[in-house]
Chains A and B, each alone.
Chain A
């Protein structure tokens, strides 16, 4: 009973923190990027201000939109929000642990993506459609690469859930394995694509022709745009949590032991900070790709995923 209450508390804390810190994380990445480029940058809390501003704006609906126009932001937001509740952050053993199957996660991300693409096609204007078509192209390779990596996760950890995989990797029996290295490289490429960062998309771009994620939302305003923007922030958070939990699970707290929570929280914040620094460093050191180079980039990720599986099989052949 006590355990259950503790797990519930940990889950609530996790959800509250993830939802509260997601805008800050985006602000941090933007700030770091500006610093690295020698600019002062917007204040850290700028994403919160943006959300607040959108809250106070009138929501405009294009006259060419259908009745489903308000549905897509909600679908996109709820799918990402559910994913954020599933992926553990500072502690393992959340109440949602059993639900956090990797394939469910893939499905939720696909649901959010589908809703965003439909939002782009909703009012029937050119930029939205072009961006949705590009998103469809990227997602084909990204989803394949992500699914392939799952083979090494699930077969090494003998568990299909994020929680179980992180728990198994945390025990440290695995050590540093070549196949997990390949998997890390592949998942980084997938995460960059899914969150719309450089090199596949530029989050601070203002040219409609070159935008992918933002161009689908051009006809959205006010509270609907708020949902989409918040979902984008949460998506960055979810991917960072996922990578942190699976590849760097050291020091994660256990939901049943309250005393381990502060350490887990501190380490989690630290991990997020390190990943934000790594992301901004990577972003200033590369340029955005042409659209038709992205399939090659993600194709390499897919190949790395397959290689990670191959190395795993070879290793188990030699070792076993």
Chain B
């Protein structure tokens, strides 16, 4: 056991600590497994040697498996399988000398645990299963620990053997995660599943940034490498703040209404105003809107992709152009998903009595979310300062780089927005008729609902499924497997599980064979062996 602290581990500890505080404030203070899970993550980040790293990582995996199992037994098996696969890849990799094989193994091991395509489909199943505090920490923290391993090995330990194609692989994998994650986030109806899909998207974004940086570093373009790294690391910081916040909020909604299905919610802003406002902050981050915490990373990443399109061969350039189109697609999809989350879940009319009777969240949950929201402020408004704090990490990962200052100035933009809003408000106050009158909604001229439906007929309101339908028709059919299944499941996991079934049946068939069949088998094997031997000797 050997501990060590450098800039990279300090950064990831800083990402991790607020989430731990927030989840502990919200719930799960008394659970032993929860604290083992936390200890595993911290140990993995503090590790000074490969053994400690793997020990912490596996402690984290095992404890999180127990937590998932307690929430829902069904995805726990899949989760355990992925965790074992990840361990089987990581354990040999960290003891191998720096080589391409070792990097691929680390990518498989850490990528599977981080939720990179095509090994991402467990994440939307397993992350929503445990209580919200654990989901928050799994989505915001555990995923980051896996990325930390990827960064540490890709950039530092295996630096000597780095090849540009390592970065390209990472970019392709990340782009696939971004697209699938954003699309599924738009289509999912369960709030927590949707947030987990969005985590896949953000992990993909980080991977794209890391891939561009790795490729540029191997090609000797340090300016681009540091720009992409800035984007990726800032994205990790921002995602570590707003995603746990949204998960905690989803948990509070579940507690208040008994469901997280958007099709049964609606109008929560009335009963849960404070939670609703905090969710708005998180949602602005998730949709990467300007002046929100998610915009600066998106800005840097898009600029990195545009800059990367000026490097390399023509195929790589065309690839980066397509990547930019994909990122644009998924940015708009993320906005759509957020509008759906807020618009269907928190605005409008309640779709069930539980949603109508929801009361605001407990003080602990609000405090935890508030803590994360306050920490979002510097990332949202002073990203340049945060980037300066990231400077040592970037120097560690890409030595002798000189990152350009951030050209996105949220404060000046904020002044412009405040100016416009102030003038508009003053003008309306001075010239417009003041006051408002509350009237029955017009709803296209339809009559009032009957008295036994005080909030109107829920079926006359757009549902979450209906809201996603145009996108399901236009994009889902092309990108997803038939019946809207995740392509990774349809084309990777189901064939594998079918193969497993078939092999099991074959083995069972052999095991159940009669004595004559067995004797025939042994005899046949002997004949084959002798034939082979004879042919080998005689020839």
> Hey, which bits of chain A sit against chain B, CB under 8 A?
55-68, 70, 74, 77-79, 81-82, 85-86, 96, 98-99, 101, 103-104, 107-108, 110-111, 113-114, 117-118, 120-130, 132-134, 136-137, 139-148, 150-151, 154-155, 160-161, 208, 218-219, 222-223, 226-227, 291-292, 295, 302, 305-306, 309-310, 313-314, 317
Q: Are B343 and A121 in contact (CB under 8 A)?
A: yes
A305-B444 contact, Cβ under 8 Å, with A124-B347, A155-B306, A160-B306: no
* Complex: chain B residue closest to A305, CB-CB: B325
Q: Are B310 and A155 in contact (CB under 8 A)?
A: yes
A222 vs B436: C-alpha distance when bound (angstroms):
9
Known: A82-B420, A147-B331. 20 other contacts (CB 8 A): A60-B436, A61-B437, A62-B440, A63-B440, A64-B349, A74-B421, A81-B417, A110-B331, A114-B339, A118-B343, A124-B461, A129-B348, A133-B466, A140-B329, A145-B328, A147-B324, A151-B309, A160-B306, A310-B321, A313-B317
Task: Tell yes or no: B269 within 8 A of A by CB.
Answer: yes
Which residues of chain B come closer than 8 Å to A317, judged between CB atoms? 314
* Complex: chain A residue closest to B413, CB-CB: A99
CB-defined interface of B162-198 with A at 8 Å, one 1/0 digit per residue? 0000000000000000000000001000000000000
Secondary structure at chain B's binding surface: helix, strand, loop or mixed?
helix
CB-defined interface of B399-412 with A at 8 Å, one 1/0 digit per residue? 00000000111001
CB < 8 Å: which of B325, B342, B409, B466 contacts A99? Answer: B409
Which residues of chain B come closer than 8 Å to A62, judged between CB atoms? 438-442
CB contacts under 8 Å to A, within B24-69, are none
Which residues of chain A come closer than 8 Å to B346, judged between CB atoms? 66
A151 vs B438: C-alpha distance when bound (angstroms):
49
CB contacts under 8 Å to A, within B471-526, are 471, 473-475
A36 vs B267: C-alpha distance when bound (angstroms):
47
> Hey, which bits of chain B sit against chain A, CB under 8 A?
186, 266-267, 269-270, 273, 276, 287-290, 295, 298-299, 302-303, 306, 309-310, 314, 317-318, 320-322, 324-329, 331-333, 335-336, 338-340, 342-344, 346-349, 407-409, 412-413, 416-417, 420-421, 424-425, 428, 431-433, 435-444, 455-456, 460-462, 466-471, 473-475
Q: Are A150 and B467 in contact (CB under 8 A)?
A: no
* Complex: chain A residue closest to B425, CB-CB: A74
CB < 8 Å: which of B438, B460, B474 contacts A137? Answer: B474
A133-B321 contact, Cβ under 8 Å, with A64-B441, A66-B270: no
Q: Are A77 and B461 in contact (CB under 8 A)?
A: no
* Complex: chain A residue closest to B280, CB-CB: A68
Which residues of chain A come closer than 8 Å to B290, judged between CB atoms? 79, 104, 107-108, 110-111
Q: Are B306 and A141 in contact (CB under 8 A)?
A: no
A211 to chain B, nearest CB (A): 11
